[in-house]
Chains A and B, each alone.
Chain A
């Protein structure tokens, strides 16, 4: 029975929380209620057997325990007595909870509230990982290389703002839905990227943020079939498929053309491709869907040489239209270099660097260095690798650049 309860905790505790936040109108009360409900379950279920609807049992138990707790505390504080009476009166009948739609909405409400644009970006990420993914503050702190007290403080501040500014527990509608969904997608993508870049690090005890982000992405498309959310899920799955191949046995970074494609995760690619197809079928091509389509073109190539660079450059052209940022332009330049040769790419990168936007971005200099090296301009290539090495922060990237620099030597004098 304890195993069954643990399994239900894993599969249902966030759904129970999402509904209790709505019923109790307060995150902290709802969190305590979820804990109380599962404690009660582990006492009563072994004796009385599994209830017919464990979810409804947990929600109504959590709710009653909360009312009880508020009543007991009310002996010291009359306000809590009012609150308890209020909850008792205004709560819907638990039999209403069989309505799937409302319950699915509760999970979306939880996501949209945690990702509310009135909260700071850091707070959105921390609150989503805490409430929607059920990570502890220690796990979140560890994943973002910060202290548990910082994370705890962010979460407390966010909850205070939700309460005091009255951020409603609701799913936005109309044109607001699109704007707010963008914020949600961005939170998911931030979590994924943090996990993806950290997966190079030596620290295996960190929770797998990429996994959490993919889980969030799946949840989101289940609850709200939006093309861009699907594109985002596809993008994460396709990038994640290369996770093992992008690190060598010695922990070094392996570039896409040098990766062993047999080590790409086929299940991930398949799930990514089918989500991408659905996103493309919608006819709405947002930035995540376009990036996923680019990742898919790589995934579909049997070898690095067999990559369809025409298609990739074409996708980047669309992406530049939607997102005219210098980083996108840099990626496009690299694709153009693959299609039309290093000189064409170099001209574009020089143009981007001339605007001054990416002068401090190590990847701009390393991309330039790679093209110079391919053109045999050894001295200029070395200078660009050195500049990139100067700017790079992460150890695996620095090792990679140092290796490239060592390989780029002037031809031996004859």
Chain B
């Protein structure tokens, strides 16, 4: 079973940190990724640049619209994700609880939907 661990953090919290504190989180995050990889849980992990750099794209009636900023204004912003393989939700929660940024922000754990299987097993109409 695959789960996407979405890492939400208030970006303002980073702005208030010293460089040394940020270094620690970055080192811990990379170390955690390596541990997950060694244990066979890691599919992919990726940190993201600030939401200030985000661009939102929509297509309506065939017309492209591009806007500055994230899709929704929230207190906590998506700062990165860790895509994992786990036996079940309990294991996924265990893994999410070890993501270093869980201590600063929050991790949303979402089961991945197997779209390909869903489509191929669609009952004939």
Residues of A within 8 A of B (CB): 77, 79, 116, 118, 164-168, 170, 172, 176
Contacts and interface: CB of A to CB of B under 8 A. Distances in A.
Interface of B: 1, 87-90, 93-94, 109, 111, 121, 123
B123 A118 contact: no
Contact of A172 (B90, B109, B111): B90
A166 B121 contact: no
Given A165-B111, A167-B90, 16 more contacts: A77-B123, A116-B89, A118-B89, A118-B93, A164-B111, A165-B89, A165-B109, A166-B1, A166-B87, A166-B89, A167-B89, A168-B87, A168-B89, A168-B90, A176-B90, A176-B94
Contacts of A167: 88-90
Given A77-B123, A79-B121, A166 B88 contact: yes
B111 A166 contact: yes
Nearest to B110: A165
User: A interface, by DSSP: helix, strand, loop or mixed?
Assistant: loop
A109 to B, nearest CB: 12
B88 to A, nearest CB: 4
Contacts of A77: 123
A166 B2 CA distance: 10
Contact of B88 (A79, A168, A176): A168
A167 B92 CA distance: 10
A93 B90 CA distance: 27
Nearest to B87: A168
B34 to A, nearest CB: 24
B90 A170 contact: yes
A208 B111 CA distance: 38
Contacts of A164: 111
Contacts of B121: 79
Q: Which 7 A-B pairs have the closest CB atoms?
A: A168-B88, A166-B88, A165-B111, A167-B89, A165-B89, A166-B1, A168-B90
A165 B111 CA distance: 5
15 contacts: A77-B123, A79-B121, A116-B89, A164-B111, A165-B89, A165-B109, A166-B1, A166-B88, A166-B89, A167-B88, A167-B89, A167-B90, A168-B88, A172-B90, A176-B94
A79 B1 CA distance: 19
A164 B89 CA distance: 10
Nearest to A169: B88
A372 B30 CA distance: 62
Nearest to A76: B123
A81 B13 CA distance: 53
Contacts of A79: 121
Contacts of A176: 90, 94
Contacts of B94: 176
A168 B87 CA distance: 9
A165 B1 CA distance: 9
A79 B109 CA distance: 28
A170 B93 CA distance: 14
Nearest to A172: B90
A170 B89 CA distance: 11
A118 B111 CA distance: 12
Contacts of A118: 89, 93
Contacts of B1: 166
Nearest to B86: A166
A350 to B, nearest CB: 35
A77 B122 CA distance: 11
